[in-house]
Amino acid sequence: MSEESRPPFPPFTRESAIEKVRAAEDGWNTRDPEKVALAYSVDSRWRNRAEFVNGRDEIVAFLTRKWRRELDYRLIKELWAFDGNRIAVRFAYECHDDSGNWYRSYGNENWEFDENGLMTHRYACINDLPIKESERRYHWPLGRRPDDHPGLSDLGL
């Protein structure tokens, strides 16, 4: 095993896939591009909407841009399916822009991991829905979603 690793490792069980999904959610909710990038292989390849991102340096740049414009970002991910070294998730996040316009963004991601548990491929399809501030459903303090906060299915999303 390499010095760089991110358990749990493939092949995934239902429990380890759920653990991997929650770890990814927790990481993204830090909004720390450098920390988040460490969960990806150095040569990780992404498709995020219509943008193609290759390697950790581009991941850090992408996430830095993202969280400069997506303010008060809060994310929930949920396991959809898994097999071997692959996991599929659905997610929704809420954020606002610098003019105070709120959005809920819905999406699906397909992930592939190496033997060290680092994500080598991430394919994301995302749709944005303008919402009123009063329609927000994610009200925890910035950072990790509390364990007792409802997930996507519980919220009817």
Single-letter amino acid, residue 105: S
How confident is the model at residue 69, as a pLDDT? 97
Beta bridge partners of 123: 47, 110
The answer to pTM > 0.85 is yes
- Cβ atoms of 8 and 117 within 8 Å: the answer is yes
> For residue 53, is it within any domain?
yes
> For residue 155, is it within any domain?
no
> For residue 32, is it within any domain?
yes
- Domain containing residue 107: CATH number: 3.10.450.50
Alpha carbon distance 94, 75 (integer Å)? 7
Give the pLDDT confidence of 74-119 residue by residue, as tens digits.
999 999 999 999 999 999 999 999 999 999 999 999 999 999 999 9
> For residue 33, is it within any domain?
yes
> For residue 7, is it within any domain?
no
Indicate the length of the chain as a whole number: 157
Give the pLDDT confidence of 34-77 residue by residue, as tens digits.
999 999 999 999 999 999 999 999 999 999 999 999 999 999 99
Alpha carbon distance 139, 112 (integer Å)? 31
> For residue 28, is it within any domain?
yes
Q: b vs e for 19-43, b when ≥16 Cβ sit within 10 Å of the residue's Cβ?
A: ebbbbbbebbbebebeebbebbbee
> For residue 121, is it within any domain?
yes
Number of domains in the chain: 1
- Cβ atoms of 130 and 99 within 8 Å: the answer is no
> For residue 147, is it within any domain?
no
Q: Show the domain range for 26.
A: 14-135
